[in-house]
Structure 1
Amino acid sequence: MDQCESALVLKRADGLPDRSIENEANTHKHILSCIEASGDLHGSNAFGSSFYVNIPSHTAFLNPGAPTWGDILPRLPADSNPCQALVSERILPLPRAVRKLIVERFWNGPADKMDSIIDDKRNEHCLIRPYLGRRRTGANSTGGHGRSMLRSISLRNYPLHIDQMEALGLPTHEYASAMADALAFLLWVAEIDACDVEYVLARPRSGNASLGTHCFTGSSSLGPHALWVLDFDCCKPLPMTREGVHRAVERFWRNDPFYPNPDTKCEEDELLWEIFRGRFLDTSGKIMASKEDSRDMLDLPEQFIKRIIKTIGMYSKRVPTDSPT
């Protein structure tokens, strides 16, 4: 991604056959329209007591021949060319204090190199990927163990695992509830399969394109922050059928380990899954109750959860096929 204005970001097509920037633009706009139309859901407290889940605002979809490229190209690297691209709201990164915290806590490099990493321009756009579905094996984040031994560390889209979040005192239970709300919204309101979507923790933005009513403040480690959802280029419409549920479950397992899951190895992770499961079913039930002609859909959320439990270990992490399993 390339920043084209202080408040905007430009995402260019990467040319991979299973990804479409045009599909992302259309899906992105569809999700935003669903949020705008979901005022009744907010009023019914489906999301009204939850934490902010932000969706970046959509600005424009550009084709290679768009006149706007004349203004954009001078701001990009010299070898850049016009292409299909998506212009959207820039997610505001976490502050320097958070970069400092991550480097000091989880990087085992020489102390005299820390400031150069913290202040590296490439690390200024610090977003955290909350991996609520993965705990680092044998990691002891309370001491010097479990630190990265790499010569450097990237703070762009930094993956933070459950044990690391616990070590920092972050509100993992609140994250699980917010993520459950987000997934329920994508599946049953936007009716998309949530294929390969990404979740990040970043500074909050209230108002338009947001579910929930308040940001996370339970820990001073990150300061006020919110959950953001992005990257919709692999998403496709989801049939409100048994086959659709099977497809959504496959997407659930094949995504990066954002979601808590029932394949737990300790009591803490089992509790996190139960919080996610309970919140997902509660929010999904309220969504279904608000839909017209939803009689044939009422049990889809329960089918989804049961299918997740049934398919533990069935799917590997890769881009899924279109046919349900």
Structure 2
Amino acid sequence: MDDLRRAIQHSSEDLPISATSALRANINLMNRLSTIRDQHHNESVINDLDLHECSSPDTILYRVLTPEPFSYEDALWDDLKAHLRVKEAFENPQNNAIHCGVPKPFNYIPKTNNTWWERNMSFFPTVHDSITLPAMTLASERTPPLPTIAREALINNQCAAEYRQFAAANPTNRDCLARKYLCRRHMKTTPSPNLTLRNFNLHLDQMIELKYPIGNLATAIGEALAVIHRLANVDAYDIEFVLGSETDSRYKHNVLSTLKPSSDQVVAMPMYTDIEHLLAVKSERHATRLWVFDFNLCHIWYQDTGINHPESLITHLVEAFSEDDPYYPLPLMENALEHGLWDMFSNSHIRKASEALQARDPRLACLPQKFIDGCLAGDGESPEGNWSWSP
């Protein structure tokens, strides 16, 4: 299984494609998608999940998977199953304070859905040479990119002065998501005039230079991983944590509901105040937000496994943790700062996981601590073969 996972990771073309057409998710789509979780490919259900004649051009992300080899075609279906579990776990009322988002899954389109592809093929721009459409496709909410002020800070930090104007004007840099590497430090290089902020790797020392609250980040990632493990029952294998923005508040006719001003605030406004302008100003001040996505290599585990085979489960979860280690603080670090980040991560993970397990079989209560102990013991083998960070 591990060999297959690694083959999928390195051989598949899992590429993001933006539809140029205006597309909008049906508001009932999530409810209907939930009915197919953990079922086989039910064509009668899936064909009903159609995004045709929708609006919102920049809020939907399409991911397609190359059809060769054939055995890789299940990857996006696996992604959908795990994605739905994580989304439902994050929306559980007991997690109302979790500081991490997961994009909404909108649609799964098999290559055999001729009706959908006939309607929508023309909406797609030219794609990678290795992709042949129709193909297995997953549609989800596009993670909102970092706001302008954050992009400017990255450009000022990463670019020499003579390159900054060029980088700021580069339209691709508007699609900025920052991968947060809490266990890696950046290798200093000569500044490049071709800085790209799309899928930017932001290392620990860079976050320190930018005065980013890395302690809050370690805590948020620890909580998110706890919910993924204990409420979603997903192993979190090869998931990604990135920094983007809060979900965009777009104009939906009811401006007052979007802004939520109090009656006293409205009374204090000058007569004829342009309320819609206030909405536009607010939308330009997005807060940054941690997001998690990319579940195509994840597996779902079941409660009986945790009860009857806890050691095997812990070994597997620790292995998944070590495979994804750039995002997490690591244990047994000599540097005081990194040691402190591990403490914040592990403490928040145990606390949130214990909360998640309160309503479950009490025999599962020991698993969060066993997971952290396994990470400390290095039960899972990291890509570098040890717990040291790599530059």
The one-letter code sitting in structure 2 at the alignment partner of 1:54 is G
Residues 208-234 of structure 1 deviation map (CA, whole Å, 9 limit, x = unaligned): xxxxxxxxxxxxxx9611110100000
Offset at 1:206? 9.3
The one-letter code sitting in structure 2 at the alignment partner of 1:76 is F
Instruction: Answer whether contact 1:96 1:118 (CA < 8 A) is retained.
Output: no
2:225 corresponds to 1:190: no
2:127 corresponds to 1:58: no
- Against the structure 1 CA distance between its residues 201 and 245, is the aligned structure 2 distance closer, same or farther, given a 3 Å change threshold? same
Instruction: Answer whether contact 1:107 1:149 (CA < 8 A) is retained.
Output: yes
Once residues 180 and 250 of structure 1 are traced to their aligned partners in structure 2, the CA distance between those partners, rounded to angstroms, is 16
State the secondary structure of the residue aligned to 1:257: helix
The one-letter code sitting in structure 2 at the alignment partner of 1:165 is M
TM-score (norm 1): 0.80
Instruction: Answer whether contact 2:89 2:228 (CA < 8 A) is retained.
Output: no
2:123 corresponds to 1:75: yes
Once residues 94 and 148 of structure 1 are traced to their aligned partners in structure 2, the CA distance between those partners, rounded to angstroms, is 24
2:176 corresponds to 1:126: yes
- Against the structure 1 CA distance between its residues 78 and 201, is the aligned structure 2 distance closer, same or farther, given a 3 Å change threshold? closer
Quote the residue 2:63 is aligned against. Answer: 11
Quote the residue 1:311 is aligned against. Answer: 378
Quote the residue 1:231 is aligned against. Answer: 294
Instruction: Answer whether contact 1:196 1:256 (CA < 8 A) is retained.
Output: no
Between the aligned residues of both structures, percent identity stands at 24
Quote the residue 1:28 is aligned against. Answer: 83
State the secondary structure of the residue aligned to 1:202: strand
The one-letter code sitting in structure 2 at the alignment partner of 1:72 is N
Unaligned runs of 5+ in 2: 1-15, 20-56, 250-284, 386-391
Equivalent runs, 1:55-204 vs 2, <5 Å: 55-66=102-113, 67-78=115-126, 81-108=133-160, 111-136=161-186, 146=188, 148-204=190-246
TM-score (norm 2): 0.67
Moved beyond 6 Å, runs of 4+: none
Offset at 1:147? 5.1
Q: Would you tell me which structure has more helix in proportion to its own residues? A: 2
Instruction: Answer whether contact 1:262 1:312 (CA < 8 A) is retained.
Output: no
17, 34, 59: which one aligns with 1:2:
17
Once residues 247 and 314 of structure 1 are traced to their aligned partners in structure 2, the CA distance between those partners, rounded to angstroms, is 10
Once residues 203 and 321 of structure 2 are traced to their aligned partners in structure 1, the CA distance between those partners, rounded to angstroms, is 18
Once residues 103 and 73 of structure 1 are traced to their aligned partners in structure 2, the CA distance between those partners, rounded to angstroms, is 36
State the secondary structure of the residue aligned to 1:290: coil
- Against the structure 1 CA distance between its residues 313 and 288, is the aligned structure 2 distance closer, same or farther, given a 3 Å change threshold? closer
2:328 corresponds to 1:259: yes
Larger RCO, structure (CA 8 Å, separation 6 or more):
1
Larger Rg: 2
The one-letter code sitting in structure 2 at the alignment partner of 1:3 is S
Instruction: Answer whether contact 1:130 1:201 (CA < 8 A) is retained.
Output: yes
Quote the residue 1:219 is aligned against. Answer: none
The one-letter code sitting in structure 2 at the alignment partner of 1:305 is I
Offset at 1:92? 0.9
Instruction: Answer whether contact 2:318 2:380 (CA < 8 A) is retained.
Output: no
- Against the structure 1 CA distance between its residues 78 and 270, is the aligned structure 2 distance closer, same or farther, given a 3 Å change threshold? closer
Unaligned runs of 5+ in 1: 138-145, 208-221, 319-325
Quote the residue 1:143 is aligned against. Answer: none
Once residues 204 and 244 of structure 2 are traced to their aligned partners in structure 1, the CA distance between those partners, rounded to angstroms, is 17
Once residues 247 and 10 of structure 1 are traced to their aligned partners in structure 2, the CA distance between those partners, rounded to angstroms, is 30
The one-letter code sitting in structure 2 at the alignment partner of 1:55 is V
Once residues 123 and 163 of structure 2 are traced to their aligned partners in structure 1, the CA distance between those partners, rounded to angstroms, is 30
Offset at 1:279? 0.8
Offset at 1:107? 2.9
The one-letter code sitting in structure 1 at the alignment partner of 2:140 is S
